[in-house]
Chain A
């Protein structure tokens, strides 16, 4: 089975801190994604990546950046955390870009910014 591992299940940070969320997949998938999940809003795409060192903005990239130095690892960076970034963050991966490709999700990181 594909495994997508997010480094932390719960994280508490202070306003203005730089925050790193790490995600690792073990199935050599090309695509990796970062979503945030908020009640009543579903999942919204922050950034995604097709390949090492490649990144594309999703629907809500403001306040975030990403890094993909190795194929299996995709990091989400909050340069200066704010309270409106308190959310559940979900990492996902897929084998390739096809429209029928399913995503494999990690268990999520619940981030609280105080």
Chain B
């Protein structure tokens, strides 16, 4: 069965410093992986997705993630945090049954300090 584990429930960075949100996955097949972001009182929005075309995936707002099969990881990074990046981030894997179901990690809250 597919699953994702977000290794940090809360990450705090200073504005202008790099962001690293960690995610490990478990999958019996070649997975489809996503990062979604949820700003306060807003719906979830897709940041980026991995579809096996390239291991380094670029998303919106300067975020990117690298798929590492050997480490079963899909960590989210950004070179320089902005105050507007403060939100909850979810690492997500697609269910293998091709039903369109998504399996969500527990979420990581990113705090950005001035």
In the bound complex, residues from chain B placing their C-beta under 8 Å from that of A108 are 43
Q: Does A58 contact B (CB under 8 A)?
A: yes
B residues apposed to A, CB below 8 Å: 9, 32, 34, 36, 41-46, 49, 51, 90, 94-96, 98-107
Asked whether A40 lies within 8 Å of B49 as measured between CB atoms, the reply is no
Q: What is the predominant secondary structure among interface residues of chain B facing chain A?
A: loop
Query: For chain A, which range describes its interface: under 10, 10 to 19, 20 to 34, or 35 or more residues?
Result: 20 to 34
A residues apposed to B, CB below 8 Å: 4, 31, 33, 35, 40-45, 48, 50, 56, 58, 90, 92, 94, 96-103, 105-108
Q: How many CB-defined contacts (below 8 Å) exist between A and B?
A: 63
Minimum CB distance partner of A40 in chain B: B106
Asked whether B43 lies within 8 Å of A105 as measured between CB atoms, the reply is yes
Asked whether B100 lies within 8 Å of A96 as measured between CB atoms, the reply is yes
Q: How far is the CA of A99 from the CA of B102 in the complex (A)?
A: 9
Asked whether A99 lies within 8 Å of B43 as measured between CB atoms, the reply is no
Minimum CB distance partner of B4 in chain A: A42
Q: How far is the CA of A47 from the CA of B38 in the complex (A)?
A: 21
